[in-house]
Amino acid sequence: MLPIYLAVFALSAVVGLAAPPTVNIKNGTVVGLDIPQFNQHAFLGIPYAQPPIGDLRLRRPRSLNTTFGRLDATKYSALCWNVPTTGSSDGAGIPQSEDCLTINVVRPNNVATSRSLLPVMFWIHGGGLTAGGSGIDWYNGTYLVQAAMNFKNPIVFVSINYRLSQLGFLAGKALADEGSLNLGHYDQRLALHWVQENIAAFGGDPTKVTIFGESSGAHSVGMQFRAFGGRDDNLFRAGITESGTANNYPLPDSTNLQSSYDQLVANSSCRGFTTASTQLACLRQIPVDEFRFAVQHWSTSAVVDGDIIPLSEGNALNAYRKGLFVKRPFMTGANTDEGTAFSGNPTSMAQLVSSLGSLGLNDTALQRLLELYPSDPFLGAPYNTGAFLPFGPGSLSKQLSSVMGDVVFIALRRFVAQQLAKQNVPVKTYRFNQIALNSSDAVGVTHFSEVFYVFGNPTCPMHLDRCLSARAEDRALSSLMQSMWISFAVHLDPNMNNFPGASVWPDYSANAENIRFQNGGSSAEKDDFRQDGIQFLLDNYFPTVGAM
């Protein structure tokens, strides 16, 4: 079990005098943690599925169908296995396990006496579907729940673990034949069903669930909206995506990833079996460390499986074009300098062109793209940093970062907003434009930057560079953003908390405007920056990505 390393939880364990909170659900009694400093209760590490171990490894999650009696829910569970790494990663230094399918609930401590059930904010963590977990300190929901209480719009916060990398997204014919693909997304789906069945016992309203996430967690939110061809199972009433909504490439089917599966078998003791069924049975029984270190290709992807991701959703852009998604209010945004986190540092035009080869553009289109995204460092990402930064990126790096930030995140955010607005879905968009105090001009307002502000955690004992600074203007911006996220979850409108001095966040359908978040407040802006370049991508790149 994960130690209670969050300072707030550790302190409350020492000084809390009240009897521990308990909640009765069908599987038993959940005993949580009283946090008197914040007038909150936390219930951590509650299993929402049977442990996916042994014969249940590499299978869809199964509901927990046994009783656990009295469950100690005062500590986070282990994270789901992250990618093996010798360096730092989201889950570095935190216990990890296959037995990881758990859910956490944080609520105000007066919820039992409140007059009505509270809206629920359901968080899906990011990490490229290969790393991360709900027990990482920067995802502590305590401060978000506290903010909601301060705004007199209380919520219940929920976060989950789901299987990652090849334990969650392995693909191959043997798995496809038995319907065992996209397991991490099925984990998320089962957790949403768990909320529908159990959250009322914790004081949450199952009819008022907002799912939100960042990066691959945001992609997961978008995928749950498009799942099963946009089938509405009444699992949520709204969504928020931070730096991600749809993939910018068509998802492969299982045959495209067969070589990774075959390599896993070849690198394990399962290579001695000769049939697909016996090899798969073996993969389910070998020690998890053997499985993990037999994997050669840890980068992973969801795949078209004909079920949760049907052929029509294999290209997410087509799903939006065709209206194959749940029509519920939506908030989506991206950070100004997203591309600096992913673009590398080309030192020649040949390297730059090679990096853009994955776009599949012909020579004429590629030349036009480079004209629209020139090598002028004043126009590259990180933006608004001038011609030269000491120890910073060169002009080619800034050029590539500008292109890739738009390709992977920003053009897609604009595309999805346009499609939702066309189909009369209420949609709000934002641009986050504040460099965190612990960041630098060299990367600018890069990927993940807004998470500090949404969660508002002032202390992260295990990741000191990943929390909100003590700078007054950062705290004020965090409070504003929390106000708007919470207002959206409670009222389906981010403007209802009447935050002092806040600009009104306009509907995208009116004039295609974002709200821009930065220190000193927020303001509306026309969503037309890099109009020619982004429109070129929408007209020339995205239509070729598996258009049907």
- For the chain, the domains span 334-400+430-548
Q: Two tokens at 158? A: 């929920």
Contact status, residue 42 vs residue 6, Cβ threshold 8 Å:
no
DSSP for 334-358, please give it: EETTGGGGT-----SHHHHHHHTGG
Contact status, residue 423 vs residue 323, Cβ threshold 8 Å:
yes
Nearest to 380 by CA among 410, 408, 339: 339
Sheet holding 69-72, edge to edge: 22-25, 28-31, 69-72
Write the single-letter amino acid at 108: P
At residue 499's C-alpha, the angle toward residues 497 and 501, to 5°, is 150
Going residue by residue through the chain (548 aa), what tens digit of pLDDT does each one get?
Answer: 443 334 444 434 433 567 899 999 999 999 999 999 999 999 999 999 999 999 999 999 999 999 999 999 999 999 999 987 544 466 667 899 999 999 999 999 998 777 799 999 999 999 999 999 999 999 999 999 999 999 999 999 999 999 999 999 999 999 999 999 999 999 999 999 999 999 999 999 999 999 999 999 999 999 999 999 999 999 999 999 999 998 877 888 899 899 999 999 999 999 999 999 999 999 999 999 999 999 876 667 899 999 999 976 668 888 999 999 999 999 999 999 999 998 888 999 999 999 999 888 899 999 999 999 999 999 999 999 988 666 678 899 999 999 999 999 999 999 999 999 999 999 999 999 999 887 888 899 999 999 999 999 887 766 656 678 888 999 999 999 999 999 999 999 999 998 998 999 999 999 999 999 999 889 999 999 999 999 999 888 876 554 43
The residues annotated as belonging to the active site are 215
As a whole number of angstroms, the distance between CA 433 and CA 337 comes to 8
Q: What is the pTM of this model?
A: 0.95
Nearest to 497 by CA among 383, 66, 505: 505
Contact status, residue 462 vs residue 528, Cβ threshold 8 Å:
no
CATH superfamily of this structure's domain 334-400+430-548: Alpha/Beta hydrolase fold, catalytic domain (3.40.50.1820)
Torsion sign, CA atoms 517, 522, 526, 532: negative
Please give the torsion angle defined by the CA atoms of residues 157, 48, 225 and 119, in that order, rounded to the nearest 10 degrees. Answer: -30
How far is the CA of 174 from the CAs of 164, 251, 279, 288, 506, in angstroms? 19, 19, 9, 19, 49
Residue 378 is classified by DSSP as G
Strands 118-124 and 204-214: parallel
Contact status, residue 468 vs residue 148, Cβ threshold 8 Å:
no
